[in-house]
């Protein structure tokens, strides 16, 4: 970045005009700090974004994905993943607020920033009290890029231990397409049946994609 005019360098630009004035590549360059033997930090940031298909693709990358890119070692990979995770967490509700989930989109607004752009599939539940206020979120399984394995007994064991009156099940599709698979449909059916037996309501099963979602409740399949 030394080749740039002082006023065009990302750090000076941020100090003068604020972070909103910087492009995605300039923000990534600041996270990287410096370049590599192949070029400066801005060139490396451009290569990184190009390799991942832009910022949204970068948000789904793990450390193993990033270290395959020239100039990105383990230290820089962890810096990038940590920066993305911090941004993701700022979108979540502050811990002091007890969110009440009464409609599918309220569950989606709560879960999408946390789990919508993950590189591996994760399955979890939102534990709710008798007024459907969020008690906590529990991730029960982390799978491969294609599938995760979960059984109703695992879900309701966690719900009972947490004292939940109701739950929202959720998982993400790393492909970005939230359309449920036949296995997702079968799992939802089994979870609903088990919930009746256990006396813990399955309010919804939400599948999270890239800025899109599928709600079994909303689609009247639950």
Q: What is the CB neighbour count within 10 angstroms for residue 35? A: 17
Instruction: Give the integer Cα–Cα distance in Å for 148 and 151.
Output: 10
Determine contact, residues 88/30, Cβ cutoff 8 Å.
no
The token pair that represents 192 in the structure block: 């609903």
pLDDT recorded at residue 84: 84
Confidence of residue 68 (pLDDT cuts 50, 70, 90): confident
Res 105 pLDDT > 80: yes
* pLDDT at residue 147, rounded to an integer: 58
H or E segment to which residue 42 belongs? helix 41-52
Domains of the chain: 6-90 (1.10.150.20), 104-215 (3.40.140.10)
User: How far is it, in rounded angstroms, from Cα 129 to Cα 134?
Assistant: 7
Looking only at the bridges linking them, the beta strands covering 134-142 and 213-215 are unpaired
Helix (H, G, I), strand (E, B) or coil at 207: strand
Using pLDDT thresholds of 50, 70 and 90, give the confidence band for residue 169: very high
pLDDT of residue 167: 97
Kindly indicate the confidence band of residue 99, based on its pLDDT and cuts at 50, 70 and 90: confident
For residue 162, what are the CA distances in angstroms to 100, 136, 167?
17, 9, 11
Q: Is the pLDDT of residue 72 over 70?
A: yes
* HSE toward the beta carbon, residue 192, CA cutoff 13 A: 13
Beta-bridge partner residues of 213: 208
- The pLDDT score that the predictor gives to residue 5 is 47
Kindly report the three-state secondary structure assignment for every residue of 100-151: ECCCHHHHHHHHHHHHCCCCCCEEEEEEECCCCEEEEEEEEEECCCCCCCCC
- If one compares 134 and 23, the residue with the highest pLDDT of the two is 134
Which helix (H) or strand (E) covers residue 217, if one does? none
CB 29 within 8 A of CB 37: no
Stronger pLDDT, 199 or 64, i.e. the higher one: 199
Q: How many helices (H) and strands (E) does the chain have?
A: 9, 5
| Greatest mean pLDDT range, 49-53, 119-123, 198-202, 208-212 | 198-202
Most confident of 31-40, 77-86, 163-172: 163-172
State the pLDDT at residue 57. Answer: 79
Q: Is the pTM of this model over 0.75?
A: no
Q: What is the pLDDT of residue 96?
A: 61
Span 172-197, pLDDT tens digits: 998 889 999 999 999 999 999 999 99
High-pLDDT (> 90) share of the chain, %: 38
Q: What is the residue-averaged pLDDT of the chain? A: 85
Torsion angle of alpha carbons 49, 51, 55, 59, nearest 10°?
-130
């Amino acid at each position: 970045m030394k080749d740039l005019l002082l006023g065009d360098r990302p750090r000076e630009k941020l100090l003068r005009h604020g972070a909103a004035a910087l492009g995605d590549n300039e923000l990534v360059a600041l996270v990287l700090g410096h370049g590599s033997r192949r070029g400066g930090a801005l060139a490396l940031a451009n290569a990184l974004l190009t390799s991942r298909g832009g910022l949204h693709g970068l948000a789904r990358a793990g450390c193993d994905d990033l270290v395959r890119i020239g100039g990105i070692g383990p230290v820089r990979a962890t810096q990038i993943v940590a920066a993305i995770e911090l941004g993701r967490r700022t979108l979540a509700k502050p811990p002091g607020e007890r969110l009440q989930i009464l409609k599918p989109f309220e569950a989606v607004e709560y879960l999408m920033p946390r789990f919508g752009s993950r590189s591996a599939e994760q399955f979890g539940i939102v534990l709710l009290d008798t007024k459907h206020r969020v008690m906590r979120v529990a991730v029960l399984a982390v799978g491969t890029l294609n599938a995760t394995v979960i059984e109703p007994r695992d879900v309701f064991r966690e719900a009972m231990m947490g004292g939940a009156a109701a739950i929202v099940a959720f998982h993400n599709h790393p492909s970005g397409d939230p359309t449920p698979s036949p296995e997702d449909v079968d799992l939802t059916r089994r979870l609903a049946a088990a919930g009746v037996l256990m006396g813990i309501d399955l309010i919804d099963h939400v599948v999270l994609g890239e800025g899109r979602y599928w709600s079994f409740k909303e689609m009247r399949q639950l």
